[in-house]
Amino acid sequence: MLQCTPTLAHEETLWQQGFRAVVGVDEAGRGALAGPVVAGAAIIPPFCVLEGIWAAVRDSKQLAPARRAALALEIMAQTLAWGVGVVSAAEIDAVGIAPATRTAMLLAVEMAAQSAPQGAQPDYLLIDWVRLPMLALPQQSLIKADATIVSVAAASILAKVHRDALLCACDADFPAYGFAAHKGYGTAAHLAALAAHGPCALHRRTFAPLKDSG
């Protein structure tokens, strides 16, 4: 798969326009069969340059788990502010995955806003794919933003690392399903475990094949 290198082009344009707290936003786990959907938000320092951590970030799916985890720690240390938002499988079943994803993103942005220093409250959103009309902030929704925009790539890493840690922790409670290995996605091993044991409390009952099994 061709790998893209994220740039600061979108952020630099916005910084030149006077924005000082551009928030990259992305999610992890939208397509999984089990576990929450998790969003990340990252406010990188205005007028930073493409070096160090900001040259290292990538779409989280392009990175090995150990590399993602190391980058997440560095992102948390070097952003102006960051946040994660978590919406459970039960809520996904209750409201649908699209509203649940927006809620997770809203929670992530709110967490970043609460921890942001004075003068660094979110003033613009760069979002992978989704729009957040409930937030009265200017925003752009871009396809594959996690692969092309540094702040969104950073957010994708935060979301993925946080979600993976949650699923690994759940593995001890539900050892029959192998959540630490597949993180709730529909792998052959996960589908086999579902066939053998049926769903557990972490499964999304409205997602195929669960919704088709009666």
CA distance readout (Å), 57 to 7, 18, 23, 62, 63? 10, 24, 15, 10, 9
pLDDT surpassing 80 at residue 3: no
User: Count of CB atoms within 10 A of residue 38's CB?
Assistant: 29
pLDDT in tens, 75-131: 999 999 999 999 999 999 999 999 999 999 999 999 999 999 998 999 999 999 999
- Write down the pTM of the prediction: 0.97
User: Structural domains in the chain?
Assistant: 9-197 (3.30.420.10)
Q: DSSP secondary structure string, 82-143?
A: EEEEEE-HHHHHHH-HHHHHHHHHHHHHHHHHHHPPTT----EEEEES---TTS-S-EEEET
pLDDT surpassing 70 at residue 1: no
pLDDT of residue 2: 52
